[in-house]
A and B are shown apart, each in its own frame.
Chain A
Amino acid sequence: MKKQAKPRVAFFDFTDCEGCQLQFANIGTTLLDLTELVDIVNFREIMSEAGEDYDVAFIEGSITTDNDVKRIKKIREKAKVLIALGACAAIGGVNGIKNRSSLDLAKQRVYGDKADIINTIKAMPVHEVVKVDYVINGCPVYVPEVLAVLKSILMGKPYVVPNYPVCVECKMNENVCRYEKDQECMGPVTRAGCNSWCVNNGNRCYGCRGLLDKPASDAAKDILTKYGLKVEDILNSFTLYNDSMGEKYDQEFR
């Protein structure tokens, strides 16, 4: 690759836990190699001073207030490349649970008698408000995938998120299937790319990377039922991360 001026990278927070930015800090020594390729100008987790100019904007978190909408539009105007970093930004993530009830009820529950003075709108993934160039799924994001996306950005090539289920990677890792152990698992309908990180470490898949383009939800529901889950539990499992996907959610699960 021809040497050009290093792209300036900034990180921005919306409604989230900052856990995905923390994963960047966890990249370790490779992060130093990365600074050969990019300039990090705004990064709350590891830098103190905030930069002004940037080419590449990593967005963490969902859009949940009117102010968020204004802010993300401004960032979009400035950034040449905009990346949704992590489940909240990519698919709405757990914030989407808010959308399950009416906004008034949600406000009431969270803020009680102060509900009226709080501005909040439905929880949205970033792509519902502005154009997103790259998506990095996961709660939190998986570091090797972050690096793969970064390379794609630097090469100016699209990053294609796998459209096959987590099971594919999980089997290649020769994990004991969670269903073998009579546990429910979202692996069969969830987009791979995480190298079945959770299951490798003894957990199950919660579906944080969002659903496949064409999840076999009918078959998946049959399986969950077969393993003794009630309809309500199944819905909760399917929607923990996917509630704000709106129509897709309705089509697949209602």
Chain B
Amino acid sequence: MKYATLNKKDLNKWLEHLKKSAKLYAPRKKENLFVFRPVKDVGDVVLEYVPTILPPKKYYFPQKEKLLKFKIEPFQTAKAIEGFEDFILFGVHTCDIAGIQCMDVVFRDGPEDPNYLNRKDKMIIIGIECLRYCDKYANCASMGNHVPRGGYDLMMVDLGEKFIIHINSEKGEKLVSKLDYIKEAAEADMNALERCREAKKKVFKEEFIGPLGKVYGVFDKSFGSDVWKDVGKKCVACGNCTAVCPTCYCFDTQDDLELSLNDGIRYRIWNSCQMDDFAKVAGGEDFRKGRDTRQRHRYYRKFKYPVDKFNRYFCTGCGRCTRTCMAGINLVETVNSLLSQETL
């Protein structure tokens, strides 16, 4: 079976089934926004949502993660986590799946990071394809992430009365097989999917004023651009943009001791290149002193450096950095300013 269908009225039944198969995380409402949470009541799950405050990266690259257990006297170290549990990420947007792919590339790149890869091994991704823009901040079309590009086990597309589900892995297939309410897709369903994709082409338009190849080129030449000064002036250095980015993975380590002052845990904790002391060395020299150089670094880590290293853009187009920025730094506007400077 390559494609299956699920009637919308059976969605909750399926969610109950998924919940029994593994730990299930899905988007739900939080105040006026959305968050991924463990599913308690399947009725809370929402599939029409603006990207969650934090991307699902918190489940495979947690905010504060145990790296190792230690004892000072006598000197001992041990694995901090013995076993990882199977989990399902349900209702993941294609932009966030692109983010997961970026993180995979980074943590697989030698020396590998077993903490990440062990978690990743246990992860099943069930995506949902967006048929319209979530809001005005997304730039998924320019990044080519408004359509599925692999990296998932199952991908759901809303066809009105039902979902059509693309089965992309054995793990995924297991979750849809032997259920009487999930059927193999008929030709009519496939045609409907085709029509749906056609309609999407009219909805999603490239958000940047130039093609992606040109964006790369312009970054190559824009290190000294005034655009960074403007961005730096606005920036309040809160680090929101990096925390919410599905492809930001900088971290710091920290030792926490128990009250015995002999046993403890070494953690890794999310860190941000937007912080004051991020690149400062013991001698006192700070290699990215200004907010402008730090913002520039963030952008280059999306549009230049990873392209050179992995042939992959680390902007997924999810729009979170713009959405979360209280200072109103807008990614599309920044990139377009660079592009328009170039054409002058």
The answer to whether A167 and B240 touch across the interface, beta carbons within 8 angstroms, is: yes
Complex-state Cα separation, A155 to B258, whole angstroms: 12
A206 beta carbon closer than 8 Å to chain B:
no
Contact B276 A30 (CB under 8 A): no
- Contact between A171 and B32 (Cβ–Cβ < 8 Å)? no
- Which listed segment binds B: A44-52, A83-91, A104-112, A177-185? A177-185
- Check A176–B31 contact: CB distance below 8 A: yes
CB distance from B52 to the nearest CB of A (A): 8
Tell me which of B256, B261, B275 contacts A164 (CB under 8 A).
Answer: B275
- Interface pair B238/A172, CB less than 8 Å apart: no
Please name the residue on chain A nearest to B261 by beta carbon: A1
Are B239 and A222 closer than 8 Å at their CB atoms? no
Tell me whether A216 and B261 are in contact in the complex, defined as CB-CB below 8 angstroms, given that A176-B33, A180-B32 are known contacts: no
Query: Is B147 interfacial (CB 8 A cutoff)?
Result: no
Set of chain A residues within 8 Å of B256, measured between Cβ atoms: 148
From the candidates B58, B238, B262, name the one contacting A1 in the complex (CB within 8 A). B262
Q: Which residue on chain B has the smallest CB distance to residue A155?
A: B261
Q: Please determine whether A168 and B277 come into contact, CB atoms closer than 8 angstroms.
A: no
Q: Are A226 and B291 in contact (CB under 8 A)?
A: no
Across the interface, do B32 and A223 meet the contact criterion of CB distance under 8 Å? no
The one of A167, A171, A218 in contact with B233, judged by C-beta atoms closer than 8 angstroms, is: A218
Chain A residues contacting B73 (CB-CB under 8 Å) are 1
In the assembled complex, which residues on chain B have CB atoms less than 8 Å from the CB atom of A168? 238-239, 243, 272, 275
How long is the Cα–Cα vector from A168 to B250 in the complex, in angstroms? 13
Report yes or no: B53 in contact with A188, Cβ–Cβ below 8 A. Answer: no
Chain B interfacial residues counted at CB < 8 A: 37
| B68 interfacial by beta-carbon distance below 8 Å | no
Q: Please classify how large the interface on chain A is, using the bins under 10, 10 to 19, 20 to 34, 35 or more.
A: 35 or more
Is A151 an interface position by the 8 A CB rule? yes
What are the residues of chain B within 8 A of A36 when measuring CB–CB?
259
What string of 1s and 0s marks CB contacts (under 8 Å) between A1-20 and chain B? 10000000000000000000
Number of A-B contacts (CB under 8 A): 99
A214 in contact (CB, < 8 A): yes
Q: Which of B33, B53, B236, B243 lies at the interface centre, i.e. has the most chain A CB atoms within 10 A of its CB?
A: B236
User: Given contacts A30-B259, A168-B272, is CB(A180)–CB(B33) below 8 Å?
Assistant: yes
CA of A168 to CA of B30, assembled, Å: 19
- B210 in contact (CB, < 8 A): no
CB neighbours of B33 from chain A (8 A): 176, 180
**Can you list, as one digit per residue, whether each of B47-67 has a CB less than 8 Å from chain A (1) or not (0)?**
000000110001000011000
| B32 partner, pick from A155, A176, A189, beta carbons under 8 A | A176
B residues whose Cβ falls under 8 Å from a Cβ of A:
30-33, 35, 53-54, 58, 63-64, 72-73, 233-240, 243-244, 256-257, 259, 261-262, 270, 272, 275-277, 291, 324, 326-328
Return 23 A-B CB contacts under 8 Å, by A number: A1-B72, A1-B261, A33-B259, A147-B259, A154-B261, A164-B272, A167-B240, A168-B239, A168-B243, A171-B324, A172-B64, A174-B53, A174-B58, A176-B53, A180-B33, A188-B237, A188-B238, A188-B326, A216-B235, A219-B233, A219-B234, A219-B235, A223-B236
The 6 closest A-B pairs by CB, nearest first: A167-B238, A171-B243, A219-B236, A179-B326, A172-B63, A176-B31
